Amino acid sequence: MHPRIPSPAILRQTPSKLPEAVEAALACAREHEDLGAYLTLLEERAREQAAQVVARVNAGERLPLAGYLVAVKDNIAIKDVPLTCGSKILDHHPSVFTATAVERLERAGAVIIGKTNLDEFAMGSSTENSALKQTLHPRDISRVPGGSSGGSAVALAIGSCHAALGSETGGSVRQPAAFCGVCGLKPTYGRISRYGLVAFGSSLDQIAPFASTCEELYPVLCAMSGADPRDATSASAPVPSSQKLTEPDRKLRIGVLRDYLEHESLAPDIASASRDAIERLRSDGHELIDLHLPVLSYSIPVYYIVATAEASSNLARFDGVRYGFRHPEADELSQVYDLSRGGGFGPEVRRRIMMGTYVLSAGYYDAYYNTALKVRRVIADALLDALSRVDVILTPTTPSTAFKIGEKVDDPVAMYLSDVFTVPANLAGVPALSVPWSDDSNGLPIGLQLIGKSFEEEFLLRSGMILERLRPTT
């Protein structure tokens, strides 16, 4: 691996080294080009931003993200930069505006290094569904990095940035974070503006950050958080404001989801790592409380009804008429729709559009979509009730470590079950964090998940620091 670029703390102390750090980050990205993390490197833009940040700091401006180099998933808009969503239907399509989250990062002093690869329209758990390139695991190129934000996780893991943005609909940041051995935070729904995030499932979608540690995640979260008049779903809840992230000043009540520790798909190495974490937390003085929430077993079917229904509606705009790919052989209006969407969308996106259209269709709406909404409410209520009795909930992040490329491509259900432990937090809208814990017998990272209370991301990250302190050193 390429030597890690200087930390944000070092670059804040010596801002004159920021341009040099940008060159090192770009060199790292190019050196590991074969891993397929980036779709677009913003070389000149990054150099100009670095020079501007140095000038702003020298002029006395206080920039909380001065020294941060950030990669951005390519379903998040940056003006005049391609916004492909990993799809042929938007290949080479430039954005005409910048997402609020990116604007806020840049205003705080961050430098954007490039746009990263993803499963097409963020629909996948392995980044194998990108129409543009394959992204490989940073430790084992025969394996997937997770998805759909696999490119962002790999960009961070190879040391080409300090933080990266992904998007979360059902685990698309936490799952690749666990696979690649980095931290990934899904904020509370509404905490970060979705303006500029290409919609997949609007009641679930969120922009979500990666970083190497909880401490480095925190200022990125703070910079992006807050209400946005351009996003009616953004929340006006107070933005976290502590100057420095520290562990909680008391012992925690930690809920343990026994349903997940006994799940039939849980790999033995991850089960062992989870038990080890529980014992280390107990020895550290924390109270571990068993939770039994059988209703969470319905999370995957509920998610794949709600998410695909919303995807069917959101992706209707990609019709070959207004922008994006238009099939060259389409002469009539019906052909424009049929050939452009059939040729522009990949098989997984087409599958989800058809599933979503089906559950919304006459005769099936009540049986599937309306019922799923009711069960979603039951799942959310159960999770919120459990959180009212504990400080945080501990689970594995994923049932397995990174699997082989092609291993689950022909089995959509097996692929969907990669998110079995992450989806409930999305359905309930609560924050959740994946923290690296240890490695399995193949040397692949294992992540543990903490689920927290709405708008308590600061406390969740502080709790994550406990796991970072207690994790095995070898």
Cα–Cα distance for residue pair 144/176, rounded to 1 Å = 9
- Classified as helix, coil or strand, 438 is strand
Report CA dihedral (31, 36, 38, 39) to the nearest 10 degrees: 130
Cβ–Cβ < 8 Å for 345, 120: yes
Cα–Cα distance for residue pair 22/19, rounded to 1 Å = 5
- The verdict on whether 313 is a catalytic residue reads no
Written as one string, the DSSP assignment of 178-209 is: HHHT-EEEEPPTTSB--TTBPPSSTTT-EEEE
Distances (CA, A) of 40 to 34, 145, 279, 300, 372: 14, 18, 44, 33, 38
Instruction: Check 130, 172, 340, 454 and give the catalytic one.
Output: 172
- The verdict on whether 172 is a catalytic residue reads yes
**Cα of 209 vs its chain's centroid, Å:** 6
- The verdict on whether 73 is a catalytic residue reads yes
Cβ–Cβ < 8 Å for 32, 158: yes
Cα–Cα distance for residue pair 228/222, rounded to 1 Å = 14
For residue 228, give the DSSP letter: B
Cβ–Cβ < 8 Å for 459, 277: no
Instruction: Check 95, 125, 130, 148 and give the catalytic one.
Output: 148
Cβ–Cβ < 8 Å for 39, 132: yes
Active site residues: 73, 148, 172
